[in-house]
Amino acid sequence: MKSVKWQSGNGKCFSLHVRSSLFLLFLLLLPPITAIAPAQVTYQDLLHPDPKDWLTYSGDYSGRRHSMLNQIHTKNIASLAAGWIYPVPGANRLLVTPLVFNGLMYVTGHNSVFALDARTGREIWRYSRPLRPDMISGDARPGINRGVAVLGEKVFFETQDAHLLALHAKNGSLIWETEIADYRDGYGGTMAPLVVKDKVIIGTSGGDECVRGLLDAYDAETGKRQWRFWTIPAPGEPGSETWKGSAIEHGCGATWLTGTFDPELNLLYWTTGNPCPDFYAEDRLGDNLYTDCVLAVDVDSGKLKWHYQFTPHDSHDWDATQIPMLIDSTFEGRPRKLMAQADRNGFFYVLDRTDGKLLMAKPFVKSLNWAKGIGPDGRPEVLPDTDPTPQGNKTCPAVVGATNWYSPSFNPQTGLFYVIAMEQCNDYMSSARGYEKGKGFEGTGAQRIASEPGQKFLRAIDIRTGNLRWEYPMVGDADSWAGTLSTAGGLVFFGDDSGYLVAVDAETGRALWHFNTGATRLSASPMTFAINGQQFITLAAGTNIVTFRLIH
Amino acid sequence: MARRNNQIRHTALALLCAFIVTCGEFRAPSLLQAQMEQAGWPQSYDSTIIEAGSKLFAGSCSVCHGIDGKGSARGPDLTRGQVVTRGTDDEVFQLIRKGVPGSSMAAFDLPDLQIRQLVAFIRSLSTTAAHIFVPGNQNSGQQIFFGKGRCSECHMIRGQGGLLGPDLSNIGGERTLSEIRVSILKPSPSSPNKYRGVTVVTENGERINGTLRNRDNFSLQIMDREGKFRFFLISELRDMVLQEKSLMPDDIGSLLSREELQNLLAFLSRQAMVGGNQIESHRKRTR
């Protein structure tokens, strides 16, 4: 800056007064700001996001979490350095993937939203509300949140107590608020909504708190509900025959992770959580539809087109709430519309996303003893004696899963699917206990085996064969929840098991760069964006938003 | 003593009831009251009691605590002290009645009613506007906000209004009544780094007028006159001029009648979120 005039001091009172009055007059003569259409996020932007922006939870509708930005690449990554840190007020563990539009970043903390200058981390506005102390146990209770969605001048946010809010994108003013479901019934909000067309698509948490899972679409303009799909059928409805016993009344199947969308097929792909009670399955004999599924739902009508169930009659709390990734690729000799998912149950699945037909399923962890494989009919070939017992039964994967909600990524140049995998087994225990309103409904649980701490890996899976191309073993306590980001710079970024943000070569898995964030348990997935041609990498690390850029 | 206190409570209640009857607009709904109590908020006080307390305070207390209760060299700030913000009404009452031994705070041998009035006033100094009774017609106040007062040209409430000034959706939950009144009648920038007028000239000569959203030694975040965010590093600017005075007009006091101002205050005071819901919406629901 060449010169800065700081207007202060008593000697300038008169001129200041005139100046500010004139300035005010000048502003008042302008048409109201709201009447001018400023740059806004449109549905076209969401369909074809500019690589400089990050407009949805996974970066685009496909869920690949792959950015075309390549300024930061394998040759210059040694010059990547921290640019700024924003400690999120009130946070104790961040899970958010920030969104960025035109240099403005939106992050969520505990029941709060913050807008930041994405280049400097300086706060522009904040919206916050107190946590309800009377929530049923579960992820929503401490107020964890994975982020917002944007459309037009609105930012959409799910509160801890399962309300959907539309905030003004420019100042956080609450425009409308809709109660999704009653938090006293176990519903909570933890996921980032997904905007498609004029709709805000949401699910809820409460998957261990006896809810009846739901998938909703709300009018982005008014907050009015347009449709609802129940993931647990009512008695007598199709699918209810897969529940023998009384558990169907509190069957869970929660929808707590943001889904994906195929504009050509007009289908949403949304995954569902475990049945309840999680570990006691005797009162819900049958497959328990539509728990542990991916649902293909018409976005306009909310009608189910097809479903695929990863873990029928689950008794290990293996929610299928992992990102159902949409990939267009040649498969077995012909171009196909694929859906790939590395599931919490330990298998890597590739489906034809037009009809839900299973094309391939292979284990991506070695610690897997509940099923021999996935049969040609798409059903797991379950091995005997793998159900939880009152005494405890060692089964793999562990309850935290072979992977979990944290994001995988896919690089079309390498054809590799990058996923954080966990090698771990647990002792699973069960007990019969009836439903009690206002309490968790787990039917006991799982515990670590002291002599087998487990280990986390970053694994690269060839989507055409399901075979492991390379892996990156991590040192740590096997207790982190960080995901991955793939970039056209030939890099995979991920949070490791010791609190580091690490970048590896996408082709080989060789570590090229690392940064100790200081967080003891990373719990979010990285993202990237650009401002004025400069690329940034951001990770919510512990209680901080940390952003990196090249230094020259 | 206890019986006298009860009598005073009854008198206060009767006064409150009389107010509620005369101003049908402002029924104190029990649901709201219960929510406030559940949230650990102080009880509401009748404005007449606060006003009486204000007069007593000016006569007996302001010499040490300042006319606004914010303290002076002779006495502490009563808007922040632990006892007045967290203690019970009875604790504050006893503090006035008995004084503080070993300090310059003397004992005030006033009638119970007057001490109660002082307690109510002192509470009102640190109690946000949403939690006290504010007379006036909210509907008329709303019309002034969006009409004659031109407040909505710059301020927003629940998505309605302009972007130039701060969003006021929770103003009643954040500020005391006195702070709101002062900010209307004698506006001044609440923060040196927010909502001030600013003009910058970029390195390539572009001149941008707007209002500050944030600022530090190295960067500047403004909203330009078209409502677009423009974020700069200071090193990218050739020139920057900050306006010293608030952009808020300072003639609102003469523009509005006393009654209109009171109605506006009544409306603004009710702009507060309770767990995300406006207090006002609770009121409507409970009618």
pLDDT, one tens digit per residue, over B18-44 is 333 333 333 333 333 444 344 333 445
Confidence of residue A479 (pLDDT cuts 50, 70, 90): very high
Q: CA–CA distance from A439 to each of A85, A138, A246, B39 (Å)?
A: 38, 10, 17, 23
User: Measured between alpha carbons, how far is A203 from B1 in angstroms, rounded to an integer?
Assistant: 58
CB contact under 8 A, B275 and A130: yes
- Residue B193's nearest CA partner among B226, B166, B160, B227 is B166
Taking all residues of chain B, what is their mean pLDDT, rounded to a whole number?
79
Taking the C-alpha atoms of residue B117 and residue B109, their distance in angstroms, rounded to an integer, is 14
Note whether A122 contacts B235, CB cutoff 8 Å. Answer: no
Q: Cβ of B197 and A177 within 8 Å?
A: no
**What is the separation of C-alpha A149 from the centre of its chain, rounded to a whole number of angstroms?**
12
Provide φ and ψ at B102, rounded to 5°: 80, 5
Ramachandran angles phi, psi of A192, nearest 5°: -85, 125
The mean-pLDDT minimum among A304-318, A506-520, B108-122 falls in: B108-122
- Render pLDDT for A328-387 as a digit per residue (tens, 0 to 9): 999 999 999 999 999 999 999 999 999 999 999 999 999 999 999 999 999 999 999 999
CA pseudo-torsion sign A230, A234, A240, A244: positive
Of A2 and A121, which is predicted with more confidence?
A: A121
Distance CA A149, CA A106 (A): 9
User: In the predicted model, is pLDDT for residue B190 greater than 70?
Assistant: no
B41, B167, B224, B232: best to mutate for the A interface, most A CBs within 10 A: B167
Nearest to A322 by CA among A303, A304, A340, A306: A340
Q: Band the pLDDT of B85: cuts 50, 70, 90.
A: low
What pLDDT band is residue A139 in, cutting at 50, 70 and 90?
Answer: confident
Pairwise CB contact (< 8 Å): A170 & B229: yes
Portion of chain B with pLDDT greater than 70, in percent = 76
Looking at the predicted structure, is the pLDDT value of residue A3 above 80?
no
**Nearest CB partner across the interface for B226, out of A1, A38, A161:** A38
Q: How many CB atoms lie within 10 A of CB A271?
A: 28
What digits encode the pLDDT tens for the residues B51-72? Answer: 888 889 988 898 899 888 888 8
What is the mean pLDDT of the segment spanning A525-541? 98
Task: Tell me if chain B has a CB within 8 Å of the CB of A171.
Answer: yes
In angstroms, the CA A212 to CA A229 distance is 10
Res. B10: pLDDT tops 60: no
pLDDT of B44: 57
From residue A461, alpha-carbon distances to A364, A397, A409, A448 in Å are 8, 18, 10, 27
Q: Where are the beta strands (DSSP E) in A244-364?
A: 260-262, 267-271, 293-298, 304-309, 325-331, 334-342, 347-352, 357-363
Which pLDDT value is given to residue B176?
87
Indicate if the pLDDT at residue A16 is higher than 70.
no
**Spatial distance between the Cα atoms of A145 and A139, rounded to a whole number of angstroms:** 9
Residue range A137-158: average pLDDT? 94
Query: Chain B contacts of A172, Cβ < 8 Å?
Result: 167
Chain A / chain B CB contacts < 8 angstroms = 141
Whether the CB of A18 is below 8 Å from some CB of chain B: the reply is no
Q: Please provide the distance, in angstroms rounded to a whole number, between the alpha carbons at the two ends of chain B.
A: 37
Q: Which of A34, A101, A167 to mutate to test the interface with B (most CBs of B within 10 A)?
A: A34
- Of residues B133 and B198, more confidently modeled: B198
Residue B274 pLDDT: 62
> Would an 8 Å CB–CB cutoff place A177 in contact with chain B?
yes
Which run of H or of E encompasses A541? strand A534-541
Quick: pLDDT tens for A368-380: 999 999 999 999 9
Residue A292's pLDDT is what?
Answer: 98
Residue A8 reports pLDDT greater than 80: no
Catalytic residue (choose from A60, A161, A317, A387): A317
Alpha-carbon dihedral A140, A145, A151, A154, rounded to 10 degrees: 80
Say what the pLDDT of residue B209 is: 94
Question: What would the mean pLDDT of A120-124 be, rounded to a whole number?
Answer: 98
Distances (CA, A) of A404 to A157, A304, A479, A485, B224: 22, 24, 12, 15, 43
* Residues of A whose CB is below 8 A from B162: 32-34
DSSP string, B176-195: BHHHHHHHHHS---SSTTSS
Q: What are phi and psi of B132, to 5 degrees?
A: -125, 165
Which of B162, B238, B245 is closest, CB to CB, to A16? B245
Confidence class of residue A441 from pLDDT cuts 50, 70 and 90? confident
Predicted confidence (pLDDT) per residue in A214-264, tens digit: 999 999 999 999 999 999 999 899 999 999 999 999 999 999 999 999 999
How many Cβ atoms from other residues are within 10 Å of residue B223's Cβ? 22
CA distance B186 to A502: 54
**Residue A272 reports pLDDT greater than 70:** yes
Residue A134 contacts B, CB cutoff 8 Å: no
Catalytic site includes residue A317:
yes
Inform me whether the C-beta atom of residue A168 falls under 8 Å from chain B C-beta atoms.
Answer: yes
The reply to whether A17 touches chain B by the CB within 8 Å rule is yes
SS3 for A330-393 is: EECCEEEEEEEEECCCCEEEEEECCCCEEEEEEECCCCCCCEEEECCCCCEEECCCCCCECCCE
- Cα distance between residue B247 and residue A23, in whole Å: 8
The pLDDT value recorded for residue B67 is: 81
> Does ipTM exceed 0.95?
no
Beta bridge partners of B18: none
Determine what percent of chain A is predicted with pLDDT higher than 70. 93
Looking at residue A376, its pLDDT comes to 94
Predicted local confidence at residue B14, as pLDDT: 42
**How confident is the model at residue B47, as a pLDDT?**
67
CA-nearest of A320, A388, A384 to A349 is: A320
pLDDT higher for B154 or A32?
B154
The structure tokens listed for A210 are 């006896």
Confidence of residue A541 (pLDDT cuts 50, 70, 90): very high
Q: Residue B127: which pLDDT band, with cuts at 50, 70 and 90?
A: confident
Higher pLDDT, A416 or A22: A416
For position A430, what pLDDT does the model report? 92
Q: Report whether pLDDT(B4) > 80.
A: no
Phi, psi angle pair for A114, to nearest 5° = -130, 135
d(CA A412, CA A328) in angstroms, rounded, equals: 9
User: Helix, strand, coil: what percent of chain A each, to 5?
Assistant: 5, 40, 55
Q: What is the pLDDT of residue A25?
A: 47
Confidence of residue A5 (pLDDT cuts 50, 70, 90): very low
Nearest to A258 by CA among A334, A346, A189, A305: A189
**CB atoms closer than 10 angstroms to residue A305:** 17
Q: Among B113, B99, B67, which residue's Cα sits nearest to residue B78? A: B67
pLDDT tens sequence across A58-97: 999 999 999 999 999 999 999 999 999 999 999 989 999 9
pLDDT of A124:
97
